[in-house]
Amino acid sequence: MVRWIATLAALLVAPAAWAEDADYYRGGWRAADGPPQVFEFVIVGAQVHGVYCTYCSDGTTLARIEGSFVEDDGIAFTVRHLDLAGNLVSQDRLTGKLEGRKLRVTGTRGADGATIDLVTIKDPRGPAPATIPQIILPPGSPPVKVLERRGGAAPPPPAPYVQAAPWKQQLSPKDLLGVWLGFGYGEPKQYFFIRNDGDELFGMACGPCDNPYTMGVLDNFAFDGDIVRFDIQHQDWGEGSKVPFVRNLAAHIGMNELRMDARRDDAPDRPGIVASLVGPLALEATAGNVNAAD
């Protein structure tokens, strides 16, 4: 009887601890009600970093997140609001704690000392459907719809890529800062926002920019001659059957074009995503952008 009671007690306690695992916290959360607010968390062990934004297609609202994670306590973090030069303007001090399938964010706003008490959710739309399988977190989320491939003849191959001019040599942050656009047009087009917090770079890729499941934190920037390298974090969504993963990106820049090769860190020998972005636009050129669903 004692053994049975001990076993039952362990079963009752285990789910509560399991439910607070990092996979239930990582990735993107948006405000359940009210004006748009989005938090994107990258969790690596006990360390947390990421980005925050309001109208996320407006790069001037992008702020940097730094913090820590403990299973029993959730995420303790700051949101660093910056001016366009990358100087700290104010700093919110916050905690994120799971309440069922929602994340409650509480704390103090740095600008005026006001109390913050915000309920955030995972976006029920999930990521944009594709013809390949995708997976999302948290565990227990519904499967992502897989689109049927269209029949008929395959489209003709694209014209071969022709480089417009020699790549810039000795790249530096000033060559990268701002907004890069690519991957089509209309609602799904991709924005790569790259900002500086003092001497450090951070950023976000999104498209559409009103759904945390179509966003990814940009980090780990490094320059090596005519190549810039950085990572795209897939914390809670991505193709295949495993998340989180990182897409390692290497790029050249020239003639307002960022030519990149992006490869998954868990499959570096697999062909990468080879594509071009155009830019950079000044961050303030996106001020006032509002997605249709915001």
Last residue of a domain, one of 122, 137, 163: 122
Tokens found for residue 39: 């938090």
79 shares its domain with 188: no
208 shares its domain with 97: no
Question: Per DSSP, what are the bridge partners of residue 196?
Answer: 201
Q: Is residue 69 part of a domain?
A: yes
Give pLDDT tens digits along the chain (294 positions).
433 333 333 333 434 444 489 999 999 999 999 999 999 999 999 999 999 999 999 999 999 999 999 999 999 999 999 999 999 999 999 999 999 999 999 999 999 999 999 999 999 999 988 999 999 999 999 999 999 888 777 778 889 999 999 999 999 999 999 999 999 888 889 999 999 999 999 999 999 999 999 999 999 999 999 999 999 999 999 999 999 999 999 999 999 999 999 999 998 888 999 999 999 999 999 999 998 777
CATH at 68:
2.40.128
Tokens found for residue 119: 């309920």
Determine the residue type at 121: I
Tokens found for residue 207: 């498209």
CB contact burial 111-127 (16+ within 10 A = b; e otherwise): eeeeeeebebebbeebb
**Judging by beta carbons within 10 Å of its beta carbon (0-12, 13-18, 19+), is residue 34 exposed, middle or buried?**
exposed
Determine the residue type at 202: F
Helix, strand, coil % (nearest 5) of the chain? 10, 45, 45
Q: The pTM is what? A: 0.91
Q: Is residue 138 part of a domain?
A: no
**CA angle, 71 as apex, 65 and 77 as ends, to 5°?**
20
276 shares its domain with 183: yes
Last residue of a domain, one of 122, 156, 188: 122
6 shares its domain with 102: yes
Last residue of a domain, one of 102, 122, 142: 122
Question: CA–CA separation, 171 vs 253, rounded Å?
Answer: 8
Determine how β-strand 134-136 pairs with β-strand 74-82.
unpaired
Q: What's the total number of domains in the chain?
A: 2
Residues 6+ apart with CB under 8 A from 38: 28, 29, 30, 31, 52, 53, 54, 56, 212, 215
Per the structure, the complete domain to which residue 177 belongs is given by 173-283
Q: Is residue 154 part of a domain?
A: no
- For CA atoms 197, 199, 200, 201, the dihedral sign is positive
267 shares its domain with 181: yes
Helix (H/G/I), strand (E/B), else coil: 26: coil
Q: Is residue 230 part of a domain?
A: yes
CATH at 240:
2.40.128.520
